[in-house]
Amino acid sequence: MTEQFTRASGPGGQNVNKVSTAVELRFEAERSPSLPDPVKARLKRLAGRRWTTDGALVLFVQDTRSQARNRDLARERLAELVRAATVAPKRRVATKPTYGSVKRRLQAKKVRGEVKALRGAVEGE
Protein backbone atom coordinates (compact mmCIF):
# COMPACT_ATOMS: atom_id res chain seq x y z
CA MET A 1 0.00 0.00 0.00
CA THR A 2 1.46 3.35 -1.04
CA GLU A 3 0.32 6.91 -0.46
CA GLN A 4 1.08 9.95 -2.56
CA PHE A 5 0.15 13.50 -1.67
CA THR A 6 -0.74 16.10 -4.29
CA ARG A 7 -2.24 19.57 -4.32
CA ALA A 8 -6.00 19.42 -4.05
CA SER A 9 -8.57 21.54 -5.83
CA GLY A 10 -11.43 23.35 -4.14
CA PRO A 11 -11.60 25.52 -1.01
CA GLY A 12 -8.53 26.37 1.01
CA GLY A 13 -7.41 29.82 -0.07
CA GLN A 14 -3.66 30.25 -0.46
CA ASN A 15 -3.21 27.00 1.42
CA VAL A 16 -4.51 25.03 -1.57
CA ASN A 17 -1.66 26.36 -3.74
CA LYS A 18 1.08 25.60 -1.22
CA VAL A 19 0.19 22.43 0.68
CA SER A 20 -0.29 18.93 -0.73
CA THR A 21 -3.45 17.80 1.07
CA ALA A 22 -5.00 15.43 -1.48
CA VAL A 23 -4.22 11.75 -0.95
CA GLU A 24 -3.84 9.06 -3.60
CA LEU A 25 -3.92 5.69 -1.87
CA ARG A 26 -2.73 2.77 -3.99
CA PHE A 27 -3.39 -0.79 -2.81
CA GLU A 28 -1.86 -3.62 -4.86
CA ALA A 29 -4.85 -5.91 -4.36
CA GLU A 30 -4.01 -8.38 -7.15
CA ARG A 31 -0.64 -9.18 -5.55
CA SER A 32 -1.91 -9.19 -1.97
CA PRO A 33 -1.34 -12.63 -0.38
CA SER A 34 -3.87 -11.89 2.39
CA LEU A 35 -6.87 -11.71 0.02
CA PRO A 36 -8.35 -14.93 -1.43
CA ASP A 37 -9.12 -15.00 -5.16
CA PRO A 38 -12.95 -14.77 -4.80
CA VAL A 39 -12.55 -11.66 -2.62
CA LYS A 40 -10.19 -10.12 -5.19
CA ALA A 41 -12.76 -10.74 -7.93
CA ARG A 42 -15.55 -9.12 -5.90
CA LEU A 43 -13.25 -6.22 -4.98
CA LYS A 44 -12.46 -5.67 -8.66
CA ARG A 45 -16.18 -5.54 -9.46
CA LEU A 46 -16.89 -3.16 -6.57
CA ALA A 47 -13.95 -0.88 -7.41
CA GLY A 48 -15.09 -0.23 -10.97
CA ARG A 49 -12.89 2.34 -12.71
CA ARG A 50 -10.71 2.74 -9.62
CA TRP A 51 -9.17 -0.67 -10.50
CA THR A 52 -6.08 -0.32 -12.70
CA THR A 53 -4.92 -2.69 -15.44
CA ASP A 54 -2.00 -3.85 -13.26
CA GLY A 55 -4.41 -4.94 -10.49
CA ALA A 56 -4.13 -2.00 -8.11
CA LEU A 57 -6.97 -0.21 -6.37
CA VAL A 58 -6.48 3.57 -6.46
CA LEU A 59 -8.46 5.86 -4.15
CA PHE A 60 -8.13 9.64 -4.51
CA VAL A 61 -9.43 11.74 -1.61
CA GLN A 62 -9.43 15.53 -1.42
CA ASP A 63 -12.58 16.06 0.65
CA THR A 64 -11.07 18.09 3.50
CA ARG A 65 -8.39 20.76 3.89
CA SER A 66 -6.36 18.50 6.18
CA GLN A 67 -3.88 15.97 4.79
CA ALA A 68 -4.24 13.77 7.88
CA ARG A 69 -8.05 13.70 7.62
CA ASN A 70 -7.90 12.93 3.88
CA ARG A 71 -5.46 10.12 4.62
CA ASP A 72 -7.81 8.69 7.27
CA LEU A 73 -10.77 8.96 4.88
CA ALA A 74 -8.85 7.12 2.15
CA ARG A 75 -7.94 4.31 4.53
CA GLU A 76 -11.52 4.07 5.81
CA ARG A 77 -12.85 3.84 2.25
CA LEU A 78 -10.33 1.14 1.39
CA ALA A 79 -11.29 -0.81 4.51
CA GLU A 80 -14.99 -0.46 3.66
CA LEU A 81 -14.43 -1.71 0.10
CA VAL A 82 -12.45 -4.73 1.32
CA ARG A 83 -15.08 -5.41 4.01
CA ALA A 84 -17.85 -5.31 1.40
CA ALA A 85 -15.86 -7.64 -0.89
CA THR A 86 -15.38 -10.25 1.85
CA VAL A 87 -19.15 -10.77 2.17
CA ALA A 88 -20.13 -13.52 -0.26
CA PRO A 89 -23.49 -12.95 -2.00
CA LYS A 90 -26.29 -15.24 -0.89
CA ARG A 91 -27.34 -17.89 -3.38
CA ARG A 92 -30.89 -17.57 -4.63
CA VAL A 93 -33.17 -20.42 -3.63
CA ALA A 94 -35.39 -21.39 -6.55
CA THR A 95 -39.09 -21.41 -5.65
CA LYS A 96 -42.16 -22.72 -7.42
CA PRO A 97 -44.76 -20.19 -8.62
CA THR A 98 -47.91 -20.29 -6.50
CA TYR A 99 -51.11 -21.82 -7.84
CA GLY A 100 -52.81 -18.41 -7.83
CA SER A 101 -50.00 -16.68 -9.72
CA VAL A 102 -50.00 -19.37 -12.42
CA LYS A 103 -53.78 -19.08 -12.73
CA ARG A 104 -53.65 -15.26 -12.99
CA ARG A 105 -50.89 -15.42 -15.62
CA LEU A 106 -52.82 -17.90 -17.77
CA GLN A 107 -56.02 -15.85 -17.45
CA ALA A 108 -54.16 -12.69 -18.54
CA LYS A 109 -52.71 -14.58 -21.52
CA LYS A 110 -56.18 -15.78 -22.50
CA VAL A 111 -57.69 -12.28 -22.30
CA ARG A 112 -54.79 -10.84 -24.30
CA GLY A 113 -55.25 -13.55 -26.95
CA GLU A 114 -58.95 -12.74 -27.23
CA VAL A 115 -58.18 -9.03 -27.69
CA LYS A 116 -55.74 -9.85 -30.47
CA ALA A 117 -58.19 -12.26 -32.11
CA LEU A 118 -60.82 -9.49 -32.26
CA ARG A 119 -58.40 -7.38 -34.29
CA GLY A 120 -58.63 -9.82 -37.19
CA ALA A 121 -60.67 -9.49 -40.37
CA VAL A 122 -64.40 -8.96 -39.80
CA GLU A 123 -66.68 -11.53 -41.47
CA GLY A 124 -69.56 -10.45 -43.71
CA GLU A 125 -68.00 -7.40 -45.32
* pLDDT tens, position by position, 12-25: 777 778 888 899 99
Strand partners, 3: 25
Cα 111 versus chain centre, distance: 42
* 76, 82, 87, 89: CA torsion to nearest 10: 110
pLDDT tens digit sequence for 23-76: 999 999 899 999 999 999 999 999 999 999 999 999 999 988 888 999 999 999
Domain count along the chain: 1
List the domain range (segments joined by +) for residue 69: 2-86
0.85 exceeded by the pTM? no
Examine residue 66 and state whether it is found in any structural domain, yes or no. yes
CATH number for the domain spanning 60: value is 3.30.160.20
Examine residue 7 and state whether it is found in any structural domain, yes or no. yes
Examine residue 112 and state whether it is found in any structural domain, yes or no. no
